[in-house]
Amino acid sequence: MKIYISGIAGFLGSHLAKRLLSLGHEVSGNDSMIQGDLNNLPKNIKFHKTDCCNFEEMTKNLKGFDIVFHCAATAHEGLSVFSPNFITKNIYQASVSLISASIINKVKRFVFCSSMARYGNQKAPFHEDMSPKPEDPYGIAKVAVEETLKLLCEVHSMEYNIAVPHNIVGPNQKYDDPFRNVMSIFINRNLQKKPSIIYGDGNQKRCFSYIDDVIYCLEKLALDKNINKEIINIGPDEETITINELAKLVANETGYNDKPIYVPGRPKEVREASCSSNKARNLLGYKTKTSLKDSVKFTADYIRRMGVKRFIYDLPVEIKSEITPKTWTKKTI
Ligand SMILES: NC(=O)c1ccc[n+]([C@@H]2O[C@H](COP(=O)([O-])OP(=O)(O)OC[C@H]3O[C@@H](n4cnc5c(N)ncnc54)[C@H](O)[C@@H]3O)[C@@H](O)[C@H]2O)c1
């Protein structure tokens, strides 16, 4: 199969590319490089430095491809209430451009990476037949893409699947981004002998997945002929933990035990976010193989191997007011 991956220099896109290449598929992809890292790319891959919003270029790039896997996004949920223009452009406009370019090129199947932000603050664990109730521009834009994708696929007869990954961690994930990826931020700071920074009381609950446990599920959404028009949560539902507990796990792994710093909570941050994995277990054979403790260890091993980094504030904070986190406006992470 000829498979095209958007956001291929990012975390999920690069792992997916490696996996699909190892299965013998022809893989190519694009990234705007607003966040990606070229070192993540498998060797000798055809790569386009293209923004998905560039409809004409994307229409050219997709010529001859059977499957499009859309991983490109600015996956910054917390930032999205302060940079809604920037975030939604890279979610909604970028996706509609890519969906349209796929239809023009007669792509057979389109796989979209949505987000558990689609469920908002509903009672966890979230399951796929809950109505979406997003709480922030990031989640709203993801749901808008889902709806547009379904409609355009129906009209133009393209197959689709929607993945709902949640808090995936592991090598290739950006750990110098002050706006997201809480586990990586804690590890990067602790390894620099700096305490974890926690928004609010730290009793927010989350569930983390290790990349190796989810990559074959994403692969099936692209390749399994019997799975079409499905929306599936991708990740575990066994080990839910609070952010306070996560900080302790990271401290144990890094050996840095100073108390975390608590800063005011961020508006619209969901209290408890975890997904049911039943559908993934039934349809994709999902199984959690990596414990949370090992996920922290393997992610820390990667950051040690690559070297700790200073945090880079290269994304726009569009709305600066008294409720914008000072960690971002004053660059204190
Ligand atoms: N990793 C997770 O835990 C997680 C959880 C839920 C949802 N997701 C979704 O999965 C997808 C992949 O996430 P990820 O963790 O790999 O993120 P990532 O930031 O590592 O990768 C996304 C890539 O997309 C690129 N990009 C952003 N806007 C673009 C544009 N307009 N055109 C082209 N490239 C663009 C970035 O440069 C980046 O390399 C995203 O859609 C994200 O919303 C990820």
What CATH number has the domain bearing residue 247?
A: 3.90.25.10
Q: Are residues 35 and 89 in the same domain?
A: yes
Q: Are residues 115 and 261 in the same domain?
A: no
* Closest ligand 1 atom number to CA of residue 36: 39
For ligand 1, say whether the CB of 165 is within 6 Å of any of its atoms. yes
Is 278 a domain residue?
no
Q: Are residues 250 and 142 in the same domain?
A: no
pLDDT of residue 169: 97
Q: Are residues 174 and 230 in the same domain?
A: no
pLDDT of residue 155: 98
Q: Are residues 314 and 228 in the same domain?
A: no
Is 297 a domain residue?
yes
pLDDT of residue 141: 98
Is 284 a domain residue?
no
Residue 86: Cβ within 10 Å count: 19
Q: Are residues 115 and 193 in the same domain?
A: no
Is 282 a domain residue?
no
pLDDT of residue 57: 98
Protein residue whose Cα sits closest to atom 9 of ligand 1: 113
Q: Are residues 34 and 44 in the same domain?
A: yes
Q: Are residues 249 and 113 in the same domain?
A: no
Using omega within 30 degrees of 0 as the cis cutoff, is the peptide bond preceding 267 cis?
A: no
**How many structural domains is the chain composed of?**
2
Protein residue whose Cα sits closest to atom 27 of ligand 1: 73
For ligand 1, say whether the CB of 206 is within 6 Å of any of its atoms. no
Is 280 a domain residue?
no
Is 281 a domain residue?
no
Is 283 a domain residue?
no
β pairing state of 205-207 and 240-242:
antiparallel
**Cβ-based burial of 84 (10 A; exposed 0-12, middle 13-18, buried ≥19):** middle
CATH number for the domain spanning 9: value is 3.40.50.720
If you ran DSSP here, which 8-state letter would residue 129 be given? T
Tell how far the Cα of 90 is from the centroid of ligand 1, in angstroms.
9
Domain of residue 259, residue span: 170-206+238-273+290-329
pLDDT of residue 132: 98
- CA distances to 22, 26, 153 from 44, in Å: 13, 11, 32
Q: Are residues 76 and 107 in the same domain?
A: yes
Q: At what angle do helices 94-104 and 137-156 cross, to 10 degrees?
A: 10
pLDDT of residue 44: 82
Return averaged pLDDT per consecutive 10 residues of the chain, 333 residues in all.
Answer: 98 98 97 97 94 98 98 97 98 98 98 97 95 97 98 98 95 97 98 98 96 96 98 93 98 96 95 94 96 97 98 97 97 96
Is the Cα dihedral 295, 297, 300, 306 positive or negative? negative
Tell how far the Cα of 173 is from the centroid of ligand 1, in angstroms.
10
Containing 85, the helix (H) or strand (E) segment is: helix 84-88
Q: Are residues 242 and 265 in the same domain?
A: yes
Calculated CA dihedral for residues 37, 73, 6, 103, nearest 10 degrees:
-170
Q: Are residues 195 and 318 in the same domain?
A: yes
pTM value > 0.85: yes
CB 88 within 8 A of CB 137: yes
**Cβ-based burial of 157 (10 A; exposed 0-12, middle 13-18, buried ≥19):** exposed
For ligand 1, say whether the CB of 170 is within 6 Å of any of its atoms. no
Is 42 a domain residue?
yes
Tell how far the Cα of 73 is from the centroid of ligand 1, in angstroms.
4
pLDDT of residue 29: 98
Q: Are residues 85 and 103 in the same domain?
A: yes
- Please, what is the Cα angle at 167 between 163 and 172, to 5 degrees? 95
Tell how far the Cα of 190 is from the centroid of ligand 1, in angstroms.
25
pLDDT of residue 166: 86
